[in-house]
Structure 1
Amino acid sequence: MDNNLVGQTIQGRYYVVKQLGRGGVGVTFVAQDQQCFDSLCVVKQLKPKSASDKTLEIARRLFNREAEIMNRLGDCDRIPRLLAYFEHQNDFFLVQELIEGQDLSNEIIAGQPWSEEKTIGLLKDILEVLQVVQQYSVIHRDLKPSNLMRRDKDKKIVLIDFGSVKQVSTQIVDAAGEVKQTVAVGTKSYMPMEQMMGRPGFYSDIYAVGVIAIQALTGIPPKRYTISQDGELIWRSLLDPNVSYRPQFLNILDKMVRYRHQERYSSAGVVLSDLKQLDDKTILVPKKNHLSTSPKVPSTHIISGGNPQANGAKNGSTLIINNGSGVANNGKNSTPNQVTNNSQTATKKPPLKLFGAIAAAAVAIGGLGFWLLSQSENPEPETNLSLYENASEGFRVDYPEAWSKQNRDDFFATGVVFFSPLEDESDQFKERVSVLVENLSEEVSLDGYTERSITEIKKLSDPYVGEAKFVNFGEDEGRQVVYTGEENGNTVQKMQTWSVKEDKAYVITYTARIDSYNSYLPTVEKMIESFETISN
């Protein structure tokens, strides 16, 4: 379809008034809705890279899914409402609410640094709406000044142009039916490494917001920032040496743009919490010292009484709860560590009380021994497994009947993810096992795929991951590694097992919190043992 739609009426309803912008994946127009009092709206035309049937089929599925997500997000008044979506002559169209205002590229201008207070205000504005987006489990993926609108009527920030929709236009299917992504979703200067490698998370949007804030504070575009040998942004040297800044605020910005996402803030809400704790009476950074890079050392909070959630335990911090019992509690299901309590050790107990305590301990130990014996005599019943079969991807695997499952189908892999049920009301983390098939663009050996996988794990999750060990992957030879990571504030342990067969890689990834990892491990091992490929 011709990109120049100005003067035309689409779908017999939307009269195109003018073109707003053009990019590599489509064109944006202002149009009049002739069936709604000629009210103005935005029409986005998305053009797939290829008109092949397979490409259009995948683009159509992605387009419909993303339109549904945008429709849900429209409940927030700081995200443009989706008014309609349709396909016309092999192009895809979104019709959205028109936001009257200017984007932030008109405010964040090179050579005009903002004050600290103004930058903090901007951060809070962006993070408030990003927090809503993350509550819907959505990643924006293309946050930058031109995609942040300052609405005229109330001067609030509105998020526009979600990068996920651009997936529709950035993939093609080759002659062999393999999906290839031809354009990275996002803008390079605002994209962290994990997003460039196709593994974005909430923390990826946090990185982009941090870069925007640094750009405003320094008045220098991110293309001019330098990178240290360990991948960190070097930006403090760009600050005005004649201005004093609060060290806590600079540290917050540092944490937002860490190279490794495990060291970054996990969500918008956590950043907002730290911003709210900034005290106006905080001592300012001396002008001669603010150019140094802050050390990456986790802080330790010592709190009397309370619980780690109520007292603000933060990602990357060690929280020690001194509740007067002489035991340090590190949160849910943590292992107690002995802590010296001076007030208790200074006072000796009367002999009778001491004798009573010893007797009580003896009874407790005896009871514990009986409990352990009963547990060994009455082991928990085995988990009932059901068969899952994916004929289109050519595999089957057993999975626990009580677990839920969700299909996955995107540019990077296809398959299924199984989720454990929550144990109780306090349990907020679902352990999961993903069984995915990756179409390989070229012939790769098992050793070659293993080397590539280890390199990716080191970059994105755990730089200290060890070598992969040899395992049986169903009836085939496989490789397996165990490593740690971080997900939305939880430290997790992962076990990834893979095998390569013809032009496909089969990958099973088990993810659990460290304190529950061993509980589900026997079940996961049975799942791996049951895996087999089938003819499709």
Structure 2
Amino acid sequence: MTTILNNRYQIINTLGSGGFGETFLAEDTYMPSRRRCVIKQLKPISNNPQMYQLIQERFAREAAILEELGRGNSQIPDLFAYFSEGGQFYLVQEYIAGETLTKLVQNQGNLSENVVKDILVKILPVLGYVHSKKIVHRDIKPENIIIRSSDSLPVLIDFGAVKEAMGTVVNSQGNSTASIVVGTPGFMPSEQAAGRPLYSSDLFSLGLTAIYLLTGKTPQQLTSDPHTGEVLWQQFAPQVSQILANILTKAVMSHPRDRYPSAQAMLQALQSPIPVTPIAPTIPLASPVPETEETLVVSPAGRQQQAQPVSPVQLPVSNNQNNSLLFGSLIAGGIIGASVVIGYALTRDPEPNTVISSTENSPAPTNSSHVTSSTNSDRDTLTTPPDNSSNVNTANPNNPLVNQPNNPNTGNPAKSLAKPSPKQALQDYYAIINQEDYQTSWSKFTTNFQNNSQVHPQGYQSYTGWWTTVDFVDIEDVRLVAEGVEVAEVDARLRYYLKSGRVSNPNLVRFRLVWDENTNQWLIDGAKSSQ
């Protein structure tokens, strides 16, 4: 017998079923093309007739949000209609022809690092868009991301808020509340299981989804550190680079403050890494690919009210140019030294700029296109890069630059072309900071800068004491100001994202770098505010 819903939608087959209801593939008989669509049937948890009107109102509100999300982003299905019938609620959504990530792994096996990174880079902006609407998805897992056949883009489906509306009840105080928590065991973090989802809860779920794509293992099949409870997964994917491993490990940290604060921050980390040698294999990968778990309906313990994510607070950052180093940046009431300005950067390619000024202790330049160094006995000349940007080396993440030693037998200034760009050296430094590898980043300072007691009163301890409070630093612009054989200057515009959730205003900083022939690399020798 043919089933017709709402006197319009003819059911073709059942796509799935779970605790919230069923999902059908249907045809719209009112459309000349008999357009295919997906119909989600949602069953209220309570059979109380008095609750029906309240659930209907919440259902209508959540449906309106789904409509807005679908209209605003092509990687979210459109909502065509919603209705109630026979005491149950229905959503009519765009049918996405394609393959879920679960099916993709089952059919093709574990995915390569490049494929997984590509999926993440394409889905994170969608998640950022959802969060910008103050919505937490709450049920990200391989089954809820479809690779669309028409353009190979990942599409985010099955938002959890509508499901939560089905669990609306009245508590003992007479107030309406959600009696269920939406999510899938293993893929949802502890704060979500307690009924307090955050934006970073979605990033946690997405991180575990990526780990599933790389390893073929669901969260329940992974191990955890017995001391910290953190997920241990890299032994199941020994081929993955340490950079991607670090990014995913950060995304799935158990405490929200240790994760990326936003989808944009995670996307930024993926788009500006530096090459790192992959870790050695420890455990061979050999296991069948399991199905991912169904979405769970659970009751939160002691839940009174749904917590709302809080957007970062913009904090002013003051500048102080009375010192050649950057001492005046104020964040959360603390004074930040010059080491603070060295953080995480975007890999943009801005146009070359003319020299703004030399370092404060340097002699005044004789003309606008040259500045001189006061730390080198040979007074190495810094030359402003020409307008032709092809003379500025830019690193390719897939084909990194290799430092070349200087040729002592020639005085040809062109020998500096064999070096990596100072701008790239600064960007590489930021990527190391972003991975929280502070020992390596500390080694990117000159000895003089490390021993500067005004900047690092307690040496390395001062340096790490600050950085453990910072999630990352976004460099909104980076420009090569001047480059000589042994000295260079780079301008960078910085914005700090603290682990507390606070965000600073951007601040323009000039960095001084010197070439170290012993290690064949540019080292940071100082920094000062340029504003």
Corresponding residue number in structure 1 for 2:327:
328
The SS at the match of 1:138 is: coil
C-alpha distance in 1, partners of 2:98/2:326?
A: 56
- Residue 202 (1) aligns with residue 199 (2): yes
Per-residue CA deviations over 1:285-310 (Å, capped at 9, x if unaligned) read 3426899xxxxxxxxxxxxxxxxxxx
1:320 shift after superposition: 13
- Residue 25 (1) aligns with residue 24 (2): no
Q: Which residue of 36, 53, 56 corresponds with 1:57?
A: 53
Corresponding residue number in structure 1 for 2:6:
11
- Identity score, percent: 32
Q: Which moved more, 1:169-178 or 1:50-59?
A: 169-178
The SS at the match of 1:109 is: helix
1:165 shift after superposition: 1.1
The SS at the match of 1:48 is: coil
- Residue 211 (1) aligns with residue 208 (2): yes
1:237 shift after superposition: 2.2
Matched AA of 1:216: L
C-alpha distance in 2, partners of 1:33/1:157?
A: 25
Is the Cα contact below 8 Å between 2:69 and 2:130 reproduced in 1? Answer: yes
Q: Which residue of 78, 83, 86 corresponds with 2:80?
A: 83
Question: Which structure 2 residues correspond to residues 468-507 of structure 1 after superposition, within 5 A?
Answer: 489=497
Q: Which residue of 90, 93, 102 corresponds with 1:93?
A: 90
**How large is the RMSD of aligned CA atoms in angstroms?**
3.7
Matched AA of 1:237: Q
The SS at the match of 1:270 is: helix
1:346 shift after superposition: 10
Per-residue CA deviations over 1:33-86 (Å, capped at 9, x if unaligned) read 121122111111111012213322331222111111101101211111011112
Q: Which residue of 257, 278, 285 corresponds with 1:285?
A: 278
Cα gap change, 1:221 to 1:337, in 2 (>3 Å): closer
Matched AA of 1:190: F
Q: Which residue of 59, 65, 72 corresponds with 2:68?
A: 72
Cα gap change, 1:329 to 1:208, in 2 (>3 Å): farther
Cα gap change, 1:337 to 1:268, in 2 (>3 Å): closer
1:179 shift after superposition: 5.2
Corresponding residue number in structure 1 for 2:152:
155
1:18 shift after superposition: 1.8
Matched AA of 1:55: M
The SS at the match of 1:274 is: helix
1:276 shift after superposition: 0.7
Cα gap change, 1:109 to 1:490, in 2 (>3 Å): same
- Residue 115 (1) aligns with residue 115 (2): no
Is the Cα contact below 8 Å between 1:491 and 1:513 reproduced in 2? Answer: no
C-alpha distance in 2, partners of 1:188/1:31?
A: 29
Is the Cα contact below 8 Å between 1:46 and 1:168 reproduced in 2? Answer: no
Question: Which structure 2 residues correspond to residues 332-343 of structure 1 after superposition, within 5 A?
Answer: 335-337=334-336
The SS at the match of 1:237 is: helix
Number of positions where the alignment pairs a residue of Structure 1 with one of Structure 2 = 322
What TM-score do you get using the length of structure 2 for normalisation? 0.54
Corresponding residue number in structure 1 for 2:134:
137
Cα gap change, 1:94 to 1:277, in 2 (>3 Å): same
C-alpha distance in 1, partners of 2:149/2:504?
A: 48
Cα gap change, 1:322 to 1:155, in 2 (>3 Å): farther
Matched AA of 1:232: E
The SS at the match of 1:107 is: helix
The SS at the match of 2:181 is: coil
Question: Which structure 2 residues correspond to residues 297-376 of structure 1 after superposition, within 5 A?
Answer: 325-330=324-329, 335-337=334-336
Is the Cα contact below 8 Å between 1:492 and 1:514 reproduced in 2? Answer: no
C-alpha distance in 2, partners of 1:333/1:492?
A: 9
Is the Cα contact below 8 Å between 1:42 and 1:97 reproduced in 2? Answer: yes
Cα gap change, 1:238 to 1:35, in 2 (>3 Å): same
C-alpha distance in 2, partners of 1:66/1:78?
A: 18
The SS at the match of 2:206 is: helix
Is the Cα contact below 8 Å between 2:330 and 2:336 reproduced in 1? Answer: no
Corresponding residue number in structure 1 for 2:236:
238
Is the Cα contact below 8 Å between 2:23 and 2:40 reproduced in 1? Answer: yes
Matched AA of 1:236: Q
Matched AA of 1:33: D
Structure 2 residues not aligned, in runs of 5+: 285-311, 340-358, 364-468, 470-495, 506-531
C-alpha distance in 2, partners of 1:82/1:248?
A: 38
C-alpha distance in 2, partners of 1:108/1:322?
A: 54
Q: Which residue of 227, 240, 260 corresponds with 1:265?
A: 260
1:246 shift after superposition: 2.5
C-alpha distance in 1, partners of 2:265/2:251?
A: 11
Structure 1 residues not aligned, in runs of 5+: 1-5, 292-313, 348-461, 463-487, 494-511, 516-536
Corresponding residue number in structure 1 for 2:405:
none
1:32 shift after superposition: 1.7
Per-residue CA deviations over 1:454-501 (Å, capped at 9, x if unaligned) read xxxxxxxx9xxxxxxxxxxxxxxxxxxxxxxxxx955559xxxxxxxx
The SS at the match of 2:105 is: coil
Corresponding residue number in structure 2 for 1:276:
271
C-alpha distance in 2, partners of 1:322/1:112?
A: 56
C-alpha distance in 2, partners of 1:89/1:71?
A: 23
Cα gap change, 1:175 to 1:246, in 2 (>3 Å): closer
- Residue 42 (1) aligns with residue 38 (2): yes
Is the Cα contact below 8 Å between 2:40 and 2:91 reproduced in 1? Answer: yes
Is the Cα contact below 8 Å between 2:81 and 2:92 reproduced in 1? Answer: yes
- Residue 225 (1) aligns with residue 222 (2): yes
The SS at the match of 2:12 is: strand
- Residue 255 (1) aligns with residue 250 (2): yes
Corresponding residue number in structure 2 for 1:360:
none
C-alpha distance in 2, partners of 1:288/1:14?
A: 53
C-alpha distance in 1, partners of 2:320/2:241?
A: 30
Matched AA of 1:94: L
Matched AA of 2:202: D
The SS at the match of 2:63 is: helix
Per-residue CA deviations over 1:9-49 (Å, capped at 9, x if unaligned) read 22222222221111111111122212112211111111101
Cα gap change, 1:339 to 1:155, in 2 (>3 Å): closer
C-alpha distance in 2, partners of 1:11/1:142?
A: 28
The higher-RCO structure (CA 8 Å, 6+ apart) is 2
1:322 shift after superposition: 10
The SS at the match of 2:327 is: strand
The SS at the match of 1:150 is: strand
Cα gap change, 1:207 to 1:286, in 2 (>3 Å): closer
Matched AA of 1:115: S
Matched AA of 1:13: R
Per-residue CA deviations over 1:228-281 (Å, capped at 9, x if unaligned) read 2322111122223xx3x43222111111001000010111111111111024xx
Matched AA of 2:198: G
Cα gap change, 1:320 to 1:115, in 2 (>3 Å): farther
